[in-house]
Amino acid sequence: MMKKSIIFAIVLLFACTSCRQNEVKILSLQEKMNAKVSELTEMNELGTVEYKVTKVVKASDDAKWYQFGDRKILFQCTAYLKAGVNLNKFDPSKVKVNEKEKSVVVVLPKAELLSFNMPPESARMVYEKVSITRFDFSAQERNLLLQQGEKEIRDNVPTMGILQDAEKNAAAFFKSLLSQMGFESIIIKFA
pLDDT tens, residue by residue, 52-78: 999 998 887 765 655 677 888 888 999
Name the pLDDT band for 188 (thresholds 50, 70, 90).
very high
**Res 62: pLDDT:** 64
The C-alpha atoms of residue 94 and residue 96 are separated, in whole angstroms, by 6
**Res 4: pLDDT:** 39
Do the Cβ atoms of 144 and 47 come closer than 8 Å? no
**Res 18: pLDDT:** 46
Delimit the domains of the chain by residue range. Answer: 27-190
Name the pLDDT band for 13 (thresholds 50, 70, 90).
very low
The C-alpha atoms of residue 129 and residue 137 are separated, in whole angstroms, by 10
Name the pLDDT band for 3 (thresholds 50, 70, 90).
very low
Name the pLDDT band for 107 (thresholds 50, 70, 90).
very high
**Res 53: pLDDT:** 94
Do the Cβ atoms of 123 and 75 come closer than 8 Å? yes
Single-letter amino acid code for the residue at 124:
R
Single-letter amino acid code for the residue at 7:
I
The C-alpha atoms of residue 98 and residue 140 are separated, in whole angstroms, by 60
Q: Rounded to 5 degrees, what angle do the CA atoms 145, 150, 155 make? A: 120
Write down the pTM of the prediction: 0.73
Question: Radius of gyration (Cα) for the chain, nearest Å?
Answer: 30
Do the Cβ atoms of 150 and 124 come closer than 8 Å? no
Three-state SS string over the chain comes to CHHHHHHHHHHHHHHHHHHHHHCCCCCCHHHHHHHHHHHHHHCCEEEEEEEEEEEEEEEEECCCCCCCCCEEEEEEEEEEEEEEEEHHHCCHHHEEEECCCCEEEEEECCCEEEEEECCHHHCEEEEEEECCCCCCCCHHHHHHHHHHHHHHHHHHHHHHCHHHHHHHHHHHHHHHHHHHCCCCEEEEEEC
Within 10 Å of residue 48's Cβ, how many Cβ atoms?
21
